[in-house]
Amino acid sequence: MKKWYKKWWGIIIIFGLLFIASFIVASLAYIYRTAQEINWEKQDIMSAERRTEIQKLAVGDGTNYWLGTSTPEVTIVEFSDFACPYCANSFITVRDLGEKYKDEVKIIFRNFLGHDDSQDLAMAAACAGEQNKFWEMHDKLFLQQGQITKTDYPNLAKQLNLDTTKFNTCVENNKYATIFNKDSSDAIALGATSTPTWFINGYRVNGEIQETDFINLIDQLLK
């Protein structure tokens, strides 16, 4: 006598059960994939929202000096220190990028003070900025890093044709100390621990970046 699973009706039952089982497996797999896709989508949204929050804090209140365009596709915030040698290695890159991408990119300079003379140097740049010479002083301070002291600031001011009385008063009064403190506290809140630290459309990058790598990164973000 044939066993039931060898009979025609037994074979039909077996195929039916296999079909139901495969349908259940496929359904479970679909549910799992859908759940994963929803989860990743939520993560992407959360990540985008988080990057927006990070960039907002990094950009600050709009009072910091910047290069490029006021309507950027890419915003780069540099937390820097005029006494930091790695920042000195990057400053020409910053200037070059500001010129190369002047219609697409905004580069914002913020202070993250970490050396004994950091505040004095930052003050010299900010006080020159009062007379529209921030970037010129920025360049001089980095080019002569380690070679100048506070007593040299008046001479630097003269080289830039500044009103030296106004400049000296600004420096001596530590006029922008509160702003520097805010810059540094924001940097710490954003997780920065050293200079330079960059925030590029909400993405944090630590340390010195080669100009070619910076260009590749910007070009990718502009696509």
Residues 69-107 pLDDT 10s: 999 999 999 999 999 999 999 999 999 999 999 999 999
Structure tokens given for 104: 């697409």
**Average pLDDT of the residues of the chain:** 86
Q: Could you tell me if 70 and 24 lie in one domain?
A: no
pTM for the full model?
A: 0.78
Residue 14 CA to its chain's centroid (Å): 61
- Residues 37 and 78 reside in one and the same domain: no
Residues 201 and 131 in one domain: yes
pLDDT of residue 147: 95
CATH code: domain of residue 189: 3.40.30.10
Which band of pLDDT confidence, cut at 50, 70 and 90, is reported for residue 38?
Answer: very low
Domain count, the chain: 2
Domain region containing 126: 60-222
| pLDDT number for residue 16 | 64
Residues 98 and 160 in one domain: yes
Alpha-carbon distance of 142 to 98, in angstroms, equals: 17
Rounded-to-integer distance, Cα 153 and Cα 137, Å = 10
- The reported pLDDT for the residue numbered 189 is 95
pLDDT band at 31 (very low <50, low <70, confident <90, very high): very low
**Looking at the predicted structure, is the pLDDT value of residue 186 above 70?**
yes
Q: Is the pLDDT of residue 13 over 90?
A: no
Query: Both 113 and 217 in a single domain?
Result: yes
